Chain A
Amino acid sequence: MSLGEAVPRIAPRPVDVAAIERELAGLWRETSSASEGGPAILRACMSNLVVFCADPEEARSAEPEIAAVVERHPSRVMLLVAQGTPRDDALDASVSAMCHLTGPGRAVCSEHVMVSAGRRALAALPSAVRGLLIGDLPTSLWWATREPPPAGGPLFGELAGLADQVIYDSAEWKDPAAGVVETARWVEESARAAVSDLAWRRLKPWRRALGQALDPERLPGALAALEELDLAHGPHGLPEAWLLVGWLAGRLGWRPRRARVSPGSEIVWGFDGPAGPIRVTLRRLAEGPPALRGLELRWRGGGGPRRARLEARAADRISVSFGEAAAPELVLPVPPAPRAELLVRQLPKLGRDRSFRDALALARRLAEALLP
């Protein structure tokens, strides 16, 4: 068996919800005695990770991502699945462990608890979680469903109340405008938890690229003199685009003035900036991933170039070109960003992210313009 290779997962065993903790303890006792001759099994745990899926299909697609996450961020996983049991008013549970080799003869395992709830048993899920949280460890709630968190109603409220951090992904929301508005409202009202949208994490290479491309040492005065921003995004990538515009506006002191929504695929916003008006155009591409694909910025005056273009090249780099030059002057690597990778990077960040909150607050204003 080579390093990094997964040790066969300890098979899920059904268990009564009240007996989960006892069953987990038994699992470890059995595992350590059964591993004689095999790898030494170490139980590792950095966090409690509560994952909510709205149906069994979502849970099936989340499972491999959870396995990838715990390999880098070992956790006690509590996977909650709505509509996951034929019994309408019951909770079904199983326990297992996810393991991988970390050195010769040494495997690290994370506990994995799955609790499925019938439609009328959803309200009981938080109580199951509450009894399973390991004290003194951070708790993160991954809202792994296509509905925005506030759509989860009281269930979401209770689960979020148990968590130090709430993570969601706006990339595939069915109604992005309503989702952004409701979520931003919840974030503004939520005093406790750290909140993160994985779409915001996807923007990090773009933010870094913009920071480097328009660094005042490189292009003195360009940031202050921006007058146009054109932004292209894939289908369902609108929340990400709003977040980027919200972030730029917040950082550069722009205030939104008015929006013009063209039928089809274009939204044009007017902003007032410290040095004059700024026109922002958001364009939806017909196809491609639900993410930001490119930006073009233009600014007034100055002796140097007055235009910068940032484009996603393949999945792993952003190219930056200036002026009329066709060839990129900078190429920035973009670390791989599947959802599991983004989660791994987000989980240890338990602080309040002010930049995100500010960007989301402004994104809300942009989204509201689309609501009836």
Chain B
Amino acid sequence: MRDTASHNPLVVGLAQTLLPQPCALVIFGGAGDLARRKLLPALYNLLLDGLLPASFAVVGFARTALDDAGFRAGAREGVERHSRRTLEDGAWQDFERRLFWVRGGFDETEAYTRLSERLAEIEPGCGLQGSRIYYLSVPPSTMVDCVERLAASGLARRPSAQGPWDRIIVEKPIGRDLESARGLNAALGRVFDESQTFRIDHYLGKETVQSLLVMRFANSIFEPLWNQRYVDHVQITVAEAEGVGTRANYYEEAGALRDMVQNHLLQLLCLTATEPPWALSADVVRDQKLAVLNCLRPLSGPDVDRFVVRAQYDEGFVHGVRVPGDGAEKNVRAGSTTETYVALQCFVDNWRWAGVPFYLRTGKRLPKRASEIAVQFKDVPHILFNVGGDEPLEPNVLTVRIQPDEGMSLRIATKLPGPKVRIYPVRMDFRYGTTFGDQSPEAYERLLLDVMAGDATLFMRRDAVEASWTWVGNVLEAWERAGAREIPRYPAGSWGPSEAEKLIARDGRRWRTP
């Protein structure tokens, strides 16, 4: 990470001491869905905010038959449809002239030569000195090939103290199990140093997720309660209302455990459970998150059946609309047992969290799109207000809402107005959308900016990826051993199968409604 302020006295005191550095961003799969929906709109919004480096270029690279004009037209359409702010002609013209296209297959050596030549041609005109970011928005099966060909064509250089640099961004999934993740990481490591490698998990770029550490460590009231003495349990939910849809080909091979739990949910768990980092530098924060993963109690053999539920959605209604079951979706193979839902219970075996269950669940075709972390505190002694137990007190719950309606709330008990002592749970609520007038930037805006500045704090490090695959791998192995079999089903539009209800109910608890 380059602390620009220590080299350049003129950036001291500017809010952003880690300045994004002039560079070309090469998007492998530049005409794809991610580029049009997320990456190009994110870059355009960064330009509007004046946050892009002074000298900058975007080069789309894929087999698609496009030229610069075609790429620009597609980018414009993407920005018009998906940008959080409307397209302004003046700014667009400034943005557009930095967009270029190189046509070529990811497996064609000559294509990399063309890419190299085009970059050499573009860079001087854009005021660039040769620093590059390669964004691999490509199918997992082609990643290693791309990395090796980048190396073979001289496009990937090891870091040096002086001169231009290269960085690489890889999208999830980082492998489909521990072995393949190690294989991909090894391939990356043969070409790029870990400091050049940015494994993106867009959840970590979301405003509320970043705010989690602030909430925990910039307020004195939460941290003393943040342990097994006061916390009854934690629920982490990432719910989607959509079905497998157009991602069926990928999803059939992945399933919810690989697609969501191994990365997003475990990352949220890490941020919830981590010890206070002693500094905010990338490696310190990531060391602490790794420590959480290393404390996860391994699940194996019979534990998997006891603590993990997988299921598939059936036909049902979501938001009042009839939707097909997973088996009837296009590109889902007949008799598929790929899980679209996972609920599990796990434990972080360290001093702070000893005995506190963490319940994680994620699924498709649930009643709504909602992601949240809910920390439920222990009951008060049954002495004053709930002696008889006829009217049990609702426990305090601190909920961090990640999407939609980002914010947090605290449920507390209060007295209903009137002569009698009647207790009623109320919610103290903080919402980003109504408290702050400004829109939150999209996760990709923050993450792209961090890569340009060389700050890896919000990215997954190799050891953490492998640690999470190690933990998830035990579950996958147990499922593999059990062989293909009927898995529980749940109607689309419900909160999951009855088995998931039982998983939590046997501890005397219940799932929250996000």
Contact = CB atoms under 8 A, between A and B. Distances in A.
Contacts, number: 90
Contact of B433 (A103, A207, A344): A103
B7 interface: yes
Contacts of A330: 54-55, 127
Interface in B33-84: 47-50, 52-55
Which residue, B8, B49, B53, has most C-beta atoms of chain A within 10 A? B8
B453 to A, nearest CB: 13
A285 B288 CA distance: 57
A208 B53 CA distance: 10
A215 interface: yes
B16 to A, nearest CB: 8
A213 interface: yes
B434 A70 contact: no
Given A217-B7, A251-B10, A316-B90, A44 B50 contact: no
B9 A223 contact: yes
Contacts of A320: 54
A44 to B, nearest CB: 5
A9 interface: no
A252 B9 contact: yes
A355 B11 CA distance: 10
Which residue, A71, A208, A210, has most C-beta atoms of chain B within 10 A? A208
A215 B7 CA distance: 8
A contacts with B: majority SS: mixed
Nearest to A349: B15
Interface in A70-84: 70-74
Contacts of B49: 335
Contacts of A248: 10
A74 B10 contact: no
Contacts of B48: 333, 335
A212 interface: yes
A42 B14 CA distance: 35
B434 A42 contact: yes
A184 interface: no
A331 interface: yes
B7 A205 contact: no
Contact of A210 (B4, B10, B19, B436): B10
A73 B434 CA distance: 9
A312 to B, nearest CB: 14
Nearest to B5: A211
Interface in B117-138: 127, 129
A86 B179 CA distance: 83
A46 B435 contact: yes
Contacts of A209: 54
Nearest to A253: B9
A20 B440 CA distance: 34
B434 A214 contact: no
Given A208-B50, A332-B54, A333-B48, A344 B10 contact: no
Interface residues of A, number: 45
Interface string A84-103: 00000000000000000011
A353 interface: yes
Nearest to A42: B434
A103 to B, nearest CB: 7
B50 A344 contact: no
Nearest to A100: B437
A74 B437 contact: yes
Nearest to A322: B127
B154 interface: no
Contacts of B434: 42, 44, 74, 102, 108
B437 A213 contact: no
Contacts of A46: 435-437
Instruction: Place the interface of chain B in its size category.
Output: 20 to 34
A354 interface: yes
A206 B8 CA distance: 15
Given A70-B437, A335-B50, A214 B10 contact: yes
A72 B437 contact: yes
A209 B54 CA distance: 8
B12 A251 contact: yes
Nearest to B436: A46
B480 interface: no
A71 B54 CA distance: 30
Contacts of B436: 46, 72-73
Given A329-B127, A330-B55, A355 B12 contact: yes
Interface string A211-246: 111111110000100000000000000000000000
A260 interface: no
Contacts of B52: 333
Given A215-B8, A333-B47, A353 B13 contact: yes
B287 interface: no
Nearest to A358: B13
B484 interface: no
Contacts of A119: none
Nearest to B162: A217
A72 B12 CA distance: 27
A44 B435 contact: yes
B435 A213 contact: no
B19 A211 contact: yes
A204 interface: yes
A42 B9 CA distance: 45
Contacts of A208: 11, 14, 50
A178 interface: no
B53 A211 contact: no
B131 to A, nearest CB: 10
Given A207-B10, A320-B54, A331-B94, A72 B438 contact: yes
Interface string A337-358: 0000000100000000111100
B85 to A, nearest CB: 11
B284 interface: no
B91 interface: yes
A216 B48 CA distance: 26
Contacts of B53: 212
Given A208-B50, A334-B50, A335-B50, A354 B13 contact: yes
A257 B8 CA distance: 25
A317 interface: yes
Contacts of B54: 209, 212-213, 320, 330-332
A208 B54 CA distance: 10
B50 A216 contact: no
Nearest to A355: B13
A333 B91 contact: yes
A337 B285 CA distance: 36
Nearest to B433: A102
A34 to B, nearest CB: 20
Given A204-B14, A216-B8, A330-B54, A344 B437 contact: yes
A72 B434 CA distance: 9
Given A207-B10, A207-B14, A212-B19, A71 B50 contact: no
Give 6 nearest A-B pairs by CB, closest first.
A355-B13, A72-B437, A211-B10, A330-B54, A211-B11, A251-B9
Interface of A: 42, 44, 46, 70-74, 102-103, 108, 204-205, 207-218, 223, 248, 251-252, 314, 316-317, 320, 329-335, 344, 353-356
27 contacts: A44-B435, A46-B435, A72-B437, A73-B436, A74-B435, A102-B433, A205-B50, A207-B14, A208-B11, A208-B14, A209-B54, A211-B8, A211-B14, A212-B53, A217-B8, A218-B129, A251-B10, A316-B91, A331-B94, A332-B54, A333-B48, A333-B52, A333-B91, A333-B94, A335-B49, A354-B13, A355-B12
Interface of B: 4, 7-14, 19, 47-50, 52-55, 90-91, 94, 127, 129, 433-438
Given A102-B433, A333-B91, A335-B49, 12 more contacts: A70-B437, A73-B436, A204-B14, A207-B14, A209-B54, A214-B10, A223-B10, A252-B9, A314-B90, A320-B54, A333-B52, A335-B50
